[in-house]
Amino acid sequence: MSVKHVFLLNAAIEGIGGMVFFLRPEWLLNNGQATLESIMLSKLIAFAAIIFGILSFQIFKHFQYSQLIKMVTLIFMGYHVITALNMYRFYTAELTSNPGAFIIHLLLGITFGATFLKEREKFIN
């Protein structure tokens, strides 16, 4: 798998996940007691995921090894790792009922990092 294809994978996961949680926001931050605040926050998170999906697809479509794409790849890796840690905290604090978001974001962060390390020589210095 190449960095370019990781952006396509990210586009699919973020886009589909964002649409699902936008339509069913109670599935994201729900410990059995959906509140107006958790629904609104879930919709905001879902909308951001959709935007990340669109951005990832555009990066995939126009991908070229460059300093800009190198920085964006590292930013996405960091975003996914930080989001994974936060979603783990949400899960342990029982703000969400399953660890799915933690696992997905952690795997995406690791995938971005591993493919970047594998292809780092291809990026223009």
Give the model confidence (pLDDT) of 12-36 as tens digits. 999 999 999 999 888 887 766 778 8
pLDDT at 125 over 70: no
For residue 23, the model assigns a pLDDT of 93
Between the alpha carbon of residue 57 and those of residues 6, 38, 85, 100, the distances in Å are: 10, 28, 25, 23
Of the pLDDT bands very low, low, confident and very high (cuts 50, 70, 90), residue 72 is very high
In this structure, the dihedral spanned by the alpha carbons of residues 9, 1, 122 and 110, taken in order and rounded to 10 degrees, is 70
| Distance between CA atoms of residues 83 and 91, nearest Å | 12
Which segments of the chain are extended strands (E)?
A: none
Q: Find the domain containing 55 and state its range.
A: 3-120
In a domain, 49, yes or no: yes
In a domain, 60, yes or no: yes
In a domain, 52, yes or no: yes
| Distance between CA atoms of residues 25 and 114, nearest Å | 31
For residue range 29-64, what is the model confidence (pLDDT) as tens digits?
776 677 888 889 889 999 999 999 999 999 999 999
In a domain, 125, yes or no: no
For residue range 79-97, what is the model confidence (pLDDT) as tens digits?
999 999 999 998 998 888 8
Q: How far out from the chain centre does Cα 33 lie?
A: 25
Residue 116, H or E segment: helix 100-119
For residue 33, the model assigns a pLDDT of 73
| Distance between CA atoms of residues 79 and 70, nearest Å | 14
| Distance between CA atoms of residues 54 and 57, nearest Å | 5
Indicate the average pLDDT of the chain. Answer: 92
